[in-house]
């Protein structure tokens, strides 16, 4: 039997600067059998673990004897160390404080990987600070007076900034401020900065929400110049405009949205047909009719790129005149829309489809709760239409699952706040059939739009005209292997090597329903997947099992959808655009802004969780172990979804060691184990609102 560990090491050592993909190694080793390929993958994992080779990007390996330099951004973790996040690296690079070269959070750095020895995580040292992060930071005044100082808290690390400028004398202790750094730390100088915005006393709801907005560079207002520029946007819809559109005003139409929503950018229409089929219209606000390319409004919308939803507010992409007014599909108002219309039979099979500009008159505005009540109770306006739509949505969902769609979902939380913004309750957001109904028809519309454009290419073309697709790659085999290893250790005997990934995921989805570990397994399953991206490449969407997919249905809150509308309108009229390079840049920017929006939303949620839990220090909670590291056990409370951590150093009954590949920490002497997915009882040790962090004691 060949020793693949030795053979692979020899191949990579011949040219230490040459990296190899798994497929290239199969070829070099003359391997074709599935069983031998599995042995090669195991040998690669062993060699990486030993430190003999390095995994330098998705599916590429390099011998560890050659110095490896990577470029990434610092992600501060605590005073002792940070991570450097490198695109395409399977794991972030750990850098200890002594090797950080004075780099701060979000600085772009060049890092040299250190010999790994027996370490499970790559470790490195910063050799160059390529670019300082010049974004303002949020500080809290610790020392007021003539020489004020602020402490800047970032995750679990903190540093002190000396403040300069006239306004500094007006500051009070515990004020929150936005600081522009003027000098950076080095061997010889202290970190200094100037106050650019005075937010107010720490702990107040409005102050903390504005601090999060400032931290992520978000603005909830628009400039006077911009607001002045949109005052003359025509608000009346002319008969001439209506005449060139398909008219749906006489067909039953309604919106279904969260109870507190103001920007209704999608509506459904329903009409039974004489042949027994159903006509379903998915009508999307025609934002592109009002937001013209290269206008001041368009440039601001592009810069923001997405609306951001904090726990208590929406920071909109478009001014209220459009987002809640002209473009919002409010009931009993005629609105311009861009629609996808389907004819479906009772089994959810599509018999015909149509794309184009339309005009609608929504008859009713449903909340998800009221739509669900109409379906459940079979009473109220449009309950027959809602029932048919719900049945068709279930058929569509079943077809997607049959074709390989994966339906794992992350748990969302909602907060009940008092008049001062204090959290009274933290509750899981329930997903009912009415939510899934809307989701299925939006997915159908997005799929059809993407498929229509992808098929426009000429015979001689490799790709068709430029378009923005939403794609999702296949999971990284190593991450998937690690995930199923954990699942198997929990007792779910599912082997992804003997069945397609989607079938393994479906089997797991069924097996965990209603179990206490369901949420943590779903969260880990999602983490094992690739991230969905915007791109001009018409690649498939793995999780949805769609050959082509886009975002068409939310142009009020996503700029990518607005671009999709503009391109689609041109293509429906016979025009063609071939400009992949510039649109690919727009896609990359959209991905960056999407990540920023998600981070800001999570920050607001985390702050409110800490604020809520700090008043419950005497309670004992039941929780599930949701994560493990060399230093901490992370625990999610079952009753409210709040997550905190227990430091291993706080476990005084033994010296606990992290066993990464067994998903557990184990006592050195007692052999007591705490495993991922275990149920534990905890009590609040401490809360840090600045760091948005909860510490637990194990009970």
pLDDT, tens digit (0-9, with 9 covering 90-100), for 290-332:
999 999 999 999 999 999 999 999 999 999 999 999 999 999 9
Structural contact between residues 623 and 641, judged by C-beta atoms closer than 8 angstroms = no
Q: What's the start-to-end Cα distance of the chain, in Å?
A: 51
On the question of a common fold for 137-202 and 614-698, the answer reads yes
pLDDT score recorded for residue 88: 74
Degrees, nearest 5: CA angle 602-607-610: 125
pLDDT at 383 over 60: yes
pLDDT per residue over 393-444, tens digit each?
999 999 999 999 998 887 888 999 999 999 999 988 889 999 999 999 999 9
| Angle 114-647-658 from CA coordinates, rounded to 5° | 50
Residue 501 pLDDT:
87
| Three-state secondary structure of 403-416 | HCCCCCCCCCEEEE
Q: What is the pLDDT of residue 58?
A: 64
The whole-chain average pLDDT of the chain stands at 91
Is 195's pLDDT higher than 80?
A: yes
Record the tokens describing residue 592, joined without a space: 């960056």
Give domain 614-698's CATH superfamily.
Answer: Nucleic acid-binding proteins (2.40.50.140)
Q: What is the mean pLDDT of residues 580-585?
A: 96
637 Cβ contact list (under 8 Å, min separation 6)? 613, 621, 622, 623, 643, 644, 682
The per-residue pLDDT for 76 is 78
| pLDDT tens sequence across 511-524 | 888 888 888 888 88
pTM (two decimals):
0.85
Q: By CB neighbour count within 10 A (0-12 exposed, 13-18 middle, 19+ buried), where does 133 fall? A: middle
Q: Is the pLDDT of residue 256 over 80?
A: yes
**Residue 314 bridge partners (DSSP):** 309
Report domain extents, the chain.
4-63, 69-131, 137-202, 227-469+542-598, 614-698
- For domain 4-63, say whether CATH 1.10.10 is its number: yes
pLDDT-based confidence at residue 169 (cuts at 50, 70, 90):
low
Tell me the pLDDT band of 539, cut-offs 50, 70 and 90. very high
Q: In angstroms, rounded to a whole number, what is the distance separating the alpha carbons of residues 691 and 571?
A: 49
Q: Which CATH number does 69-131 carry? A: 2.40.50.690
Q: Of residues 280 and 120, which shows the higher confidence score?
A: 280
Of residues 51 and 34, the one with the higher pLDDT is 34
Per-residue pLDDT reduced to its tens digit, 477-515: 888 888 888 888 888 888 777 888 888 888 888 888 888
pLDDT at 565 over 60: yes
Query: What gap in Å lies between CA 48 and CA 55, rounded to an integer?
Result: 7
Give residue-wise pLDDT tens across range 595-625.
Answer: 999 999 999 999 999 999 999 989 999 999 9
Q: How confident is the model at residue 166 (pLDDT cuts 50, 70, 90)?
A: low
Separation between Cα atoms, residue 497 and residue 476, nearest integer Å: 14
CATH architecture of the domain formed by 137-202: Beta Barrel (2.40)
């Amino acid at each position: 039997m060949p020793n693949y560990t030795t053979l692979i090491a020899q191949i990579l050592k011949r040219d230490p600067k040459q990296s190899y993909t798994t497929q290239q190694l199969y070829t070099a080793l003359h391997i074709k059998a599935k069983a031998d390929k599995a042995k090669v993958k195991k040998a690669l994992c062993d060699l990486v673990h030993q430190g003999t080779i390095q995994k330098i990007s998705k599916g590429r390996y390099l011998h560890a004897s050659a110095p490896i330099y990577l470029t990434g951004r610092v992600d501060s973790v605590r005073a002792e160390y940070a991570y450097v996040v490198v695109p395409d690296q399977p794991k972030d690079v750990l850098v200890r404080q002594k090797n950080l070269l004075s780099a701060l959070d979000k600085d772009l750095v060049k890092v040299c990987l250190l010999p790994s020895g027996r370490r499970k995580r790559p470790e490195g040292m910063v050799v160059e600070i390529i670019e300082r992060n010049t974004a303002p930071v949020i500080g809290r005044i610790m020392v007021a007076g003539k020489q004020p100082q602020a402490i800047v808290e970032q995750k679990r690390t903190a540093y002190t900034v000396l403040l300069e400028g006239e306004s500094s004398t007006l500051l009070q202790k515990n004020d929150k401020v936005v600081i522009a750094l003027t000098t950076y730390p080095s061997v010889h100088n202290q970190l200094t900065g100037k106050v650019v915005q005075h937010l107010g006393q720490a702990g107040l709801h409005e102050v903390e929400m504005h601090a999060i907005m400032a931290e992520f560079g978000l603005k909830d207002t628009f400039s006077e110049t911009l607001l002045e520029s949109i005052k003359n946007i025509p608000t009346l819809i002319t008969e001439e405009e209506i005449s060139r559109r398909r008219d749906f005003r006489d067909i039953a139409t309604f919106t279904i949205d969260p109870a507190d929503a103001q920007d209704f950018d999608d509506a459904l229409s329903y009409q039974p047909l004489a042949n027994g089929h159903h006509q379903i219209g998915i009508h999307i606000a025609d934002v592109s009719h009002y937001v013209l390319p290269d206008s001041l409004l368009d440039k601001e919308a592009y810069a923001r790129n997405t609306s951001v939803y904090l726990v208590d507010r929406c920071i909109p992409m478009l001014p209220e005149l459009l987002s809640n007014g002209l473009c919002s599909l409010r009931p009993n108002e005629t609105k311009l829309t861009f629609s996808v219309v389907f004819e479906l039979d009772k089994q959810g099979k599509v018999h015909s489809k149509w794309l184009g500009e339309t005009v609608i008159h929504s008859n009713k505005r449903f909340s998800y709760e009221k739509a669900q009540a109409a379906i459940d109770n079979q009473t109220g306006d449009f309950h027959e239409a809602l029932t048919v739509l719900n049945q068709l949505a279930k058929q569509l969902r079943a077809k997607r699952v049959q074709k390989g769609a994966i339906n794992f979902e992350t748990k969302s939380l909602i907060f009940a706040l008092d008049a001062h913004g204090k959290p009274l309750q933290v509750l899981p957001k329930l997903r009912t059939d009415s939510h899934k109904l809307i989701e299925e028809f939006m997915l159908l519309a997005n799929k059809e739009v993407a498929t229509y454009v992808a098929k426009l290419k000429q015979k001689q073309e490799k790709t068709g005209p430029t378009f923005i697709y939403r794609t999702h790659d296949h999971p990284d085999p190593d991450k998937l292997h690690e995930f199923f290893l954990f699942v198997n250790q929990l007792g779910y005997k599912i082997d992804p090597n003997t069945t397609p990934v989607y079938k393994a995921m479906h089997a797991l989805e069924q097996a965990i329903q209603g179990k206490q570990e369901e949420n943590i397994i779903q969260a880990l399953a999602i983490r094992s997947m690739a991230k969905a991206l915007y791109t001009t490449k018409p690649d498939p969407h793995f999780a949805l099992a769609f050959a082509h997919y886009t975002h068409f249905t939310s142009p009020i809150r996503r700029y990518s959808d607005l671009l999709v509308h503009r391109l689609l309108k041109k293509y429906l009229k016979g025009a063609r655009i071939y400009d992949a390079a510039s649109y690919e840049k727009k896609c990359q920017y959209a991905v960056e802004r999407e990540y920023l929006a998600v981070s800001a939303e999570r920050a607001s949620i985390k702050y409110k969780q800490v604020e809520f839990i700090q008043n419950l220090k005497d309670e004992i909670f039941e929780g599930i172990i949701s994560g493990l590291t060399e230093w901490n056990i992370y625990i999610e409370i079952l009753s409210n979804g709040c997550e905190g951590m227990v430091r291993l150093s706080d476990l005084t009954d033994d010296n606990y060691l992290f066993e990464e590949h067994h998903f557990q920490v184990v006592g050195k002497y007692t052999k007591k184990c705490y495993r991922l997915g275990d149920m534990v009882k905890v009590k609040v040790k401490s809360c840090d609102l600045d760091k948005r962090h909860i510490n637990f004691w194990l009970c």
